[in-house]
Amino acid sequence: MPATPLIAYAHAGKSFNGGRVVAVDDVSLDVAEGEFLAIVGSSGSGKSTLLRLANRLIEADRGQIAVEGEDISRIDPILLRRRIGYVFQSGALFPHLTVAGNIGITPRLLGWPQAEISARVDELLDLVRLDRAQYRDRMPHELSGGQRQRVGVARALAAKPRIVLMDEPFGALDPLTRDALGDDYRTLHRELGLTTIMITHDMTEAILLADRVAVMRAGRLLALGTPAELSASTDTYVGELLHTPRRQAKRLGALLPRDGTA
C-alpha cells in the first residue's frame, strides 16, 4: 500500500471577489513525504493561493486538503501553522526583534523553556551557516538580503516541522547568493527529511532544486512531473517555460569547457 502523502489537495479551489476571480481551480495534487516540489507559473496563476491553502493562511472554498493524513479544516489554523514551516518572499522578519528573537518566536509561542529555545537558536544558526557570535543579537536591518533569508529559513525550521512551504524564498537575491542558498536549503531538506513545497518563477531554479515541478496556469494545475517528464511534455506552455533553461544549458555547455581548463 502506498504511503499516505504528507500534503494532499483533492479538488481544491478558491475564488475571490464573490467568485469573479478563480485563483485556484479544482487542483488535485499529492506531495509525498520527503519530496521537494516546486510550483512554477506566471504572475497571477494561483501559486501563492495554492500554497497558502495548505496552512490555512487562505481558506479553501472547494475540495479538501489533508496534511499528514488529517483534514486541515478540522485542525485549528494556529496549531496547523505551528506544525508547518513557512518562508516568506522577503524574509518578512519582525523588525523589532533580534535574529535570535525572530528564530525563537514559534518555540516561545509553544512554551518551550528559555534554555531550550536558546540552544535551538544556536543550532539553527549553525544549520543555516550564520556565525552565532556575529549574528545572534543583530537586528534584521543589519543583515544583507541573503542573511535575512537564512534567518527566515531558520525561523521556519525552529519548531522542527516536517513540512516547509516557501513562497519565492530566494527571488529577490542576486544569482550567486540565490544559488548558494538554494543549494544549502536542498541539503537541509535532505538531511532533515523535510517535505518542501517551494514557489519560484524561475524554471531553472525549479529544475535544479525540485524532485517534481507543478506548472500552474490560470488557477489550474497544467502539468506535474519530474524535470525529465516535463521535458517530454507536448504542451506548448510547458515548452515555452523550458525554452530558456534549455537554451542557457546549450549555450553554457558550448561556452564553458567541461573540465574547467581552457
Ligand X SMILES: Nc1ncnc2c1ncn2[C@@H]1O[C@H](COP(=O)(O)OP(=O)(O)OP(=O)(O)O)[C@@H](O)[C@H]1O
Which residues in this chain contact ligand X in the complex, by CB under 6 A? 16-17, 21, 23, 41, 43-49, 201
- C-alpha to C-alpha distance for 166 and 201, rounded to whole angstroms: 12
Closer residue to ligand X in complex, CB, 136/201: 201
Unique residue bearing C-alpha cell 544583507: 144
Shortest Å distance, C-beta 54 to ligand X: 13
Closer residue to ligand X in complex, CB, 128/168: 168
Of 54, 95, 52, which is closest to residue 71 (Cα–Cα)? 54
Shortest Å distance, C-beta 44 to ligand X: 4
Shortest Å distance, C-beta 136 to ligand X: 32
Distances in whole angstroms, Cα of residue 186 to Cα of each of 55, 60, 66, 96, 196: 22, 29, 24, 30, 9
Shortest Å distance, C-beta 51 to ligand X: 8
Task: List, in sequence order, every residue forming a beta bridge with 39; answer none if it has no partner.
Answer: 199, 214
- C-alpha to C-alpha distance for 46 and 40, rounded to whole angstroms: 10
